Structure 1
Amino acid sequence: MIQQGQALPAGTLGQLTKDGMVNHDVATLFAGKKVVLFAVPGAFTPTCSEAHLPGFVVLADQLKAKGVDIIACVSVNDAFVMKAWGEAQNASEIMMLADGDASFNKALGLDMDTAAFGGIRSQRYAMVIDNGVVTTLNVEAPKSFEVSTAEAVLASL
């Protein structure tokens, strides 16, 4: 698993924008920026939709006031689902990124197999990235939602 102080692995994350599909090179996207990246097991799932994403929507301005350039949510879903979920949650300040084949989360060592529920998904986590290097990493214990909340990330900045 990736650790604090390590650079992010190479990877590509998809985003459906008003101009169409964009495949972001992670290193390029986060270069020279302070980023809050949080991951959820699945778009439209209960904890993710009722608490995790909404917390970052509510606290987006406060996070940006602390110097955060990008707030991004990543999930092992396709870019169409991530866009629809972002719109349903009024998450206009959040970059909704798709890790469709879980390759980025696998490279981080933060994937999990949920078996028949959904297959390979992301663990629930939040990290602060400064110019491509992880400075804070909060990974949730299974079935927990405490350390990756928007409030916990804000408190760490």
Structure 2
Amino acid sequence: MIQLEENLPNCTFQLLTDEGMQSPTTEDLFAGKKVVLFAVPGAFTPTCSEEHLPGYVTLADKIKAKGVDNIICLAVNDAFVMNAWGKVHNADEITMLADGAGDFTKAIGLDMDTGAFGGLRSQRYSMLVEDGCVTQLNIEPPKTFEVSKAETMLALL
């Protein structure tokens, strides 16, 4: 599992934008930037849709006012689902990033097998990444939602 002061692995993601499908890399997203990354088990799922994403949408301006260049929401879903989920929640200030095959999630060791729920998914977490290096890491214990909240990240900034 990824640890504090480790660099993120080089991976390619999927991102659907108004300009079409993009394939940004870890370097594209994190090099030379201060980024809050939070991951959810699945788009359109109860806790993710009712609390996790909405918290970051509500506090995006305050988080960015602390010197954060970008806020990224990541899930092991496809880019079309992530884009639609972001639109439903007015997540204009959040980059809705797809880790479709879970390559990044597996590479950082925060994957989990949910069986019939959807197979490979991400654990729920948040992290602060500075120039590609993890400087804060908040991993939720199973069936909890406390340490990865937007309010918690804002307080840590």
TM norm. shorter chain > 0.5: yes
TM-score computed with the length of structure 1 as normaliser: 0.99
| Equivalent residues in 2 for 1:25-40, closer than 5 Å | 25-40=25-40
Q: CA RMSD for the aligned pairs?
A: 0.5
Could you tell me which amino acid in structure 1 is paired with residue 39 of structure 2? A
Please report how far the alpha carbon of residue 13 of structure 1 lies from its aligned counterpart in structure 2 after TM superposition.
1.2
Q: Where do 5+ consecutive residues of structure 2 fail to align?
A: none
Please show how residues 63-142 of structure 1 align to structure 2 within 5 Å: 63-142=63-142
Secondary structure (helix, strand or coil) at the match of 2:9 reads coil
Count of residues in correspondence between the two structures: 157
Listed one character per residue, the Cα deviations across residues 83-116 of structure 1 (whole Å, up to 9, x for unaligned) are 0000000000000000000000000100000011
- Helix, strand or coil: the match of 1:71? strand
Amino acid at match of 1:140: E
Whole-Å separation in 2 of the counterparts to 1:98 and 1:28: 14
3-state SS in 1 of match to 2:60: helix
Q: Secondary structure at the match of 1:2?
A: coil
1:6 aligns with 2:10: no
2 CA distance for matches of 1:145 and 1:29? 26
Please name the residue that 1:52 is paired with: 52
Q: Give the drift of 1:27.
A: 1.6
What is the percent sequence identity of the aligned residues? Answer: 66
TM superposition shift of 1:28: 2.4
Q: CA deviation at 1:124?
A: 0.2
User: When the two structures are superposed, what TM-score results if normalisation uses the length of structure 2?
Assistant: 0.99
Which has the larger displacement, 22-31 or 99-108? 22-31
Q: Which runs of 4+ in 1 moved over 2 A?
A: none
